[in-house]
Structure 1
């Protein structure tokens, strides 16, 4: 079975779409010569590292940023270089399905039956990942893209990973995101 994975999306998860609460700083990132303005919280790295360590899990990127996340995101949030799911550019054709389904297909192939938690903001990724053949135990933590990753999401993952050893059977249902703080 292998150690569990903790999969991280960037946009909508570590980089919320709306101006977040304090703790976030604005960063300019220019992968492949294209400049993006991101909101990133340096505290996320410690939270995620603590989660992985306490669960004996391995952190990995599951984002369209792929290896660029190691250059542009990881250092800004306090994460070391991580493995990544090689997600090719979304072709935007009907056969590919939706953006979340496209990502889920590549995540499912990469995890190879290992148990995993996936912090993801694409609403259709949960249904698609559960439908993938041979997918093992998993929890998709649905993150509200306007507010991004919170301590509540980390605790949902921590609880699920803590219970993993005693649980058997296929997929788990996604957890609902918390309401954004006003």
Structure 2
């Protein structure tokens, strides 16, 4: 089973606040709403390299859902990716404090090992995934939304995938 690399957009690829150097400003219109995103075009190559080196599959896990393929992927050099459907309006209210996306991620990933880059994953999400039947091994990588995705986050994912034997690229 190929491992998954699950990607959030806001706070991960699109830092909140003043972006670090290397980010470019884009204006996107999604369902009639205008958004400004700040993206680093190098992230696409870095993520593709990580996926290739580990045999992992890149997947969107973001409220942007399919819009990430229209507005985010082409601006950072990613192909169209599969999408975890995380529509917050259809997710039941959490009973244990996990984020609204966590049950959708659990259902999508199933037994496949995964790394999840998100700025809103916490201990409650880890606990939910650990006790949820049918979920394989995983690594939650909390990204500081003020800085976004860094080479340190990518290195952590690479180490976990390769040192735990989930990597299919080694």
* TM-score calculated relative to the size of structure 2: 0.89
Q: Contact 1:8–1:119 at 8 Å: present in 2 too? A: yes
Shift of 1:133: 2.1
Structure-2 separation of matches of 1:66 and 1:99: 22
> 1:170 maps to which residue?
none
Q: Contact 2:59–2:84 at 8 Å: present in 1 too? A: yes
> 1:36 maps to which residue?
35
Does residue 73 (structure 1) correspond to residue 72 (structure 2)? The answer is yes
Q: For residues 18-97 of structure 1, what are the structure 2 equivalents within 5 Å?
A: 18-90=17-89, 95-97=93-95
Flag the 1:39–1:100 CA change in 2: closer, same or farther, 3 A: farther
User: How many residues are matched?
Assistant: 165
> Which stretch shifts more, 43-52 or 121-130?
121-130
Question: Structure 1, unaligned stretches of length 5 or more?
Answer: 168-182
Flag the 1:21–1:35 CA change in 2: closer, same or farther, 3 A: same
> 2:137 maps to which residue?
137
Shift of 1:28: 0.7
> 2:146 maps to which residue?
146
Question: Structure 2, unaligned stretches of length 5 or more?
Answer: none
Q: Contact 1:121–1:144 at 8 Å: present in 2 too? A: yes
